[in-house]
């Protein structure tokens, strides 16, 4: 089995790119949002338009990272099971599309917020702003379902391949499975504790650094 030695290293860089970009975007957006107060939220967004645009840009960079990651992982793991690798790649593309849609709603929220501040927050613009806010929130949280399911598939293929240490691989499988189940129950209306999602983020950094530094391990018989 032949794998270009640069492909896993590039996948490691893509892990880090999408993780760092997403964290930075969230860090910039969170202070602007006041839950259950659309007027204050829209005022904050209008008064910090550059920060809002930077957050949207950060998420779009994360989208690029996710597409790159799905492409590189599918190329690295396709010999383990081509159908599973292709399905996981498709889920990552779906993830990227959902995030892009949510950021389009976020940009619309920015424009409506600016108009609403100028007009003194009339009821119709509050309603429109709330609609775009809900759309961008729903889209952003929805992306976790296909992303984590695709991750479970990719990490299963890593487990079969023995390309990375088993301990690191099990961490990823458990973290992605927990995040998928947490996202599913969250969308069904259950309260899901934050710790269910926490292990997924440090794993992205851990496997990203591992792949950049070590690549993948391939024995003579391909396992």
The helix (H) or strand (E) run that includes residue 2 is none
The answer to whether the CB of 32 falls within 8 A of the CB of 90 is: no
Per-residue pLDDT of the chain (223 residues; tens, 9 = 90+): 566 778 999 999 999 999 999 999 999 999 999 988 999 999 999 999 999 999 999 999 999 999 999 999 999 999 899 999 999 999 999 999 999 999 999 999 999 999 999 999 999 999 999 999 999 989 888 999 999 999 999 999 999 998 999 999 999 999 999 999 999 998 888 888 888 888 888 999 999 999 999 888 765 544 4
Helix (H/G/I), strand (E/B), else coil: 192:
coil
CA 203, CA 168: separation in Å to the nearest integer?
8
Residue 68's alpha-carbon distances to 23, 159, 165, 217, in angstroms, are 18, 21, 23, 21
pTM reported for the whole predicted model: 0.91
CB 10 within 8 A of CB 212: no
State residue 22's pLDDT score.
Answer: 94
Please tell me the predicted confidence (pLDDT) of residue 223: 44
Q: Angle, nearest 10°, between helix axes 82-119 and 49-77?
A: 170
Q: Is 166 helix (H, G, I), strand (E, B) or coil?
A: helix
Q: What are phi and psi of 25, to 5 degrees?
A: -65, -45
In this structure, how many other beta carbons lie within 10 angstroms of the beta carbon of residue 104?
A: 16
Q: Which of 27, 156, 17 is nearest to 84 (CA)?
A: 156
- Cα 70 to Cα 131: distance, rounded to the nearest angstrom: 31
pLDDT of residue 2: 60
- Other CB atoms within 10 Å distance of the CB of residue 114: 16
Rounding to the nearest 10 degrees, give the CA dihedral for residues 138, 143, 149, 152: -130
Give the C-alpha separation, 204 to 200, whole Å: 7
């Amino acid at each position: 089995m032949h794998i270009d030695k640069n492909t896993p290293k590039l996948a490691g860089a893509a892990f880090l790119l999408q993780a760092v970009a997403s964290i930075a975007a969230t860090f910039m957006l969170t202070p602007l949002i006041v839950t259950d107060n659309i007027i204050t939220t829209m005022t904050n967004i209008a008064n910090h338009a550059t920060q809002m645009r930077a957050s949207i840009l950060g998420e779009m960079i994360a989208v690029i990272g996710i597409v790159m990651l799905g492409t590189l992982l599918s190329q690295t793991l396709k010999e383990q099971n081509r159908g599973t690798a292709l399905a996981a790649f498709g889920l990552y593309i779906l993830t990227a599309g959902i995030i892009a849609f949510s950021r389009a709603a976020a940009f619309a929220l920015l424009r409506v917020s600016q108009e609403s501040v100028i007009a003194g927050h009339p009821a119709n613009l509050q309603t429109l702003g709330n609609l775009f806010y809900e759309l961008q929130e729903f889209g952003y949280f929805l992306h976790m379902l296909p992303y984590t399911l695709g991750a479970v598939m990719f990490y299963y293929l890593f487990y079969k391949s023995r390309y990375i240490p088993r301990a690191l691989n099990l961490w990823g499988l458990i973290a992605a499975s927990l995040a998928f189940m947490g996202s599913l129950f969250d969308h069904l209306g259950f309260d899901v504790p934050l710790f269910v999602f926490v292990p997924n983020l440090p794993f992205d950094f851990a496997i990203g650094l591992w792949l950049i530094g070590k690549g993948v391990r391939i024995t003579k018989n391909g396992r």
